[in-house]
Structure 1
Amino acid sequence: MRLTRGGWHVLALAVAVVMAAAMPFAIVWRMTLACSEDLAAEEAEVHSDHRFTADDIGGIGDYIGVHWALDRLGDCSSGRPPEALVYRALFELDAPSVQTLLWDHTWLPATPVTADGPAGENAIGSALLAYVPAGAEWSMAAALDMADLGAYTGSLFLDAEHALAYARFW
């Protein structure tokens, strides 16, 4: 079968239309792959700066140090990272801050709990586990579960023996 000059034009136009229609999908697919890789790297990164103040997370006092990571809730299906953030922070406390926390709140054994700390949605997360000493025993402030922690809402846990507080907040 031989195409006429008009037939070639129609065929070229059809190919151009198919390519033009497929191009945005290819671009979004590449953006989604790049976003997913960036998101995984961002969530694996542990920060150790003094990003949070005593006003941000009420009750922790002037902490000695903090290791924190973030989780983005959602995926990169639109080619952009999800905007909803959840922070996970492990605070190293001084003795007066531990005593203040112990006196100001009723502490209960954290449940559910695993060998690595709080479980379920409150899990410490693999990025921060390297900073949790062996044998840490976490308690949960009954009044600070899903509560206003200051500038954020979340949950607060305490390992008084190791002078550590763990917060998951948003």
Structure 2
Amino acid sequence: MIDPARTLVAVKRRILLLVAVLGAPVALLPAGAVTAGYLAVRSDWTHQTTCRESLPIEEAKVRTVRWDRPEDLPGLGDYPAIHWQARAKGDPCSRGPGPTDWAYQGVVELRPEDARALAKRYEFVAYDPVVSAEYAAERTPEDLWPALSGFLPPETRWLTSRVYDELDTSSRWRIAYLDVEHATLLFMLDDH
């Protein structure tokens, strides 16, 4: 019959022998692994909390820096002003694999001569909501984000161009609306 007290004493002796032979660091390895695991989970939680708190603030910002990928918006020339925003289409705070897609909207103030050249080069025509609905679902002037609407001129006369929208110069889907009279371009870009 096995004596539980003797078995416990034997186990304790083996642990003491292990510590004596291999040293305290090896004996403390399980405690270190638990601590490292806790810190990793805590760090991940802190990152997600910080990200989730800052995401709405970042998405609400109206940026005025020049568009950094000119191939996304070709033919604009040396425009005097731009106002744009970005919004996540997924969860950029997730630790899951893969990138998050983004949507961008903006209003560009063009020089009058660049607005005329853009309209002519890319065959812009009068905006027809029925025709645009076929390929521009939820990306029409009426879908402009509220923070950007203040940068639109009053009484716009939008023109559209499928030639411009479907140019193969960008990895993003593009929809653009041009008002030549007010030298204004409204753009909507989506990662895909």
Q: TM-score under structure 2 normalisation?
A: 0.60
Between the aligned partners of 1:166 and 1:160, the Cα distance in structure 2 is 11
Structure 1 residue 74 displacement after superposition: 1.0
Give 1 or 2: higher strand fraction. Answer: 1
Of all paired residues, the percent bearing the same amino acid is 24
The answer for unaligned runs of 5 or more in structure 1 is 1-19, 113-117
Cα-to-partner distance string for 1:60-108 (whole Å, 9 max, x where unaligned):
222121111111111356268x632222121111111111122121323
Q: Find the counterpart in structure 1 of residue 61 from structure 2.
A: 45
Between the aligned partners of 1:85 and 1:162, the Cα distance in structure 2 is 28
Query: Are the counterparts in 2 of residues 63 and 92 from structure 1 also a CA contact under 8 Å?
Result: yes
Map of 1:67-78 to 2, 5 A cutoff?
Answer: 67-75=83-91, 78=94
Q: Find the counterpart in structure 1 of residue 109 from structure 2.
A: 92
- Find out whether 1:121 has 2:121 as its counterpart: no
Between the aligned partners of 1:57 and 1:121, the Cα distance in structure 2 is 16
- Find out whether 1:106 has 2:89 as its counterpart: no
Query: What is the count of residue pairs matched by the alignment?
Result: 144
Structure 1 residue 150 displacement after superposition: 3.0
Report the secondary structure of 1:167's partner residue.
strand
Q: TM-score under structure 1 normalisation?
A: 0.67
Query: Are the counterparts in 1 of residues 92 and 100 from structure 2 also a CA contact under 8 Å?
Result: no
Report the secondary structure of 2:82's partner residue.
strand
Between the aligned partners of 1:157 and 1:84, the Cα distance in structure 2 is 22
The answer for unaligned runs of 5 or more in structure 2 is 1-36, 131-135
Structure 1 residue 53 displacement after superposition: 5.9
Between the aligned partners of 1:110 and 1:62, the Cα distance in structure 2 is 29
Structure 1 residue 33 displacement after superposition: 4.3
Q: Find the counterpart in structure 2 of residue 167 from structure 1.
A: 187
Query: Are the counterparts in 1 of residues 177 and 187 from structure 2 also a CA contact under 8 Å?
Result: yes
